[in-house]
Amino acid sequence: MAAGSVIAPPFASTASPMHTASEKRVRQSRPNIGQLSGIDHEIIAARVAAFLKHRHPHNTAKYVAREIDVPRDTVAKWIERGSAPNAEGILKLIAVYKTDLLIALLGGAEQWLAVAAWHERRARFEAEQAAFLAEMGPLLFGEDQP
């Protein structure tokens, strides 16, 4: 790159302004980034609520709020009142629940997502197994065994 060149920030619009026949600029609408545009919010809300209730059958809002660091009332709205999470909420949920949530949101898994979910579950299992052996190994195998 040449010194002094300007790099456009990511996601910056490169579209030129629209003009009418009279050469007046036409205002372009922008998508509402905070919403899940084009997806039926009732379906998303129902799938999120079902997933979270299945994952945390007791005190759902309390545990989810703690895991994703959002107010408990926000999670309660998703679960009890059928509100769909906004984009930030969805991203926080995905960060914690990963492919399991994506599969629930999509209503099933495409092959690539099913493979990714399998790898995540295997990694979780191996981590749990290693933690168990670290804790219980000395009791089960003696002090000199891993």
Q: Which two tokens stand for residue 104?
A: 């629930």
Dihedral Cα 79, 80, 86, 92, nearest 10 deg: -30
pLDDT over 80 (residue 22) = no
Furthest CA-CA distance within the chain: 87
Three-state DSSP class for residue 52: helix
Q: What is the pTM of this model?
A: 0.58
Query: What is the Cα–Cα distance from 17 to 52, expressed in whole angstroms?
Result: 44
Asked if pLDDT for residue 116 goes beyond 90, the answer is no
**DSSP percent split of the chain into helix, strand, coil, nearest 5:** 60, 5, 40
Task: Please provide the average confidence, as pLDDT, over all residues in the chain.
Answer: 79
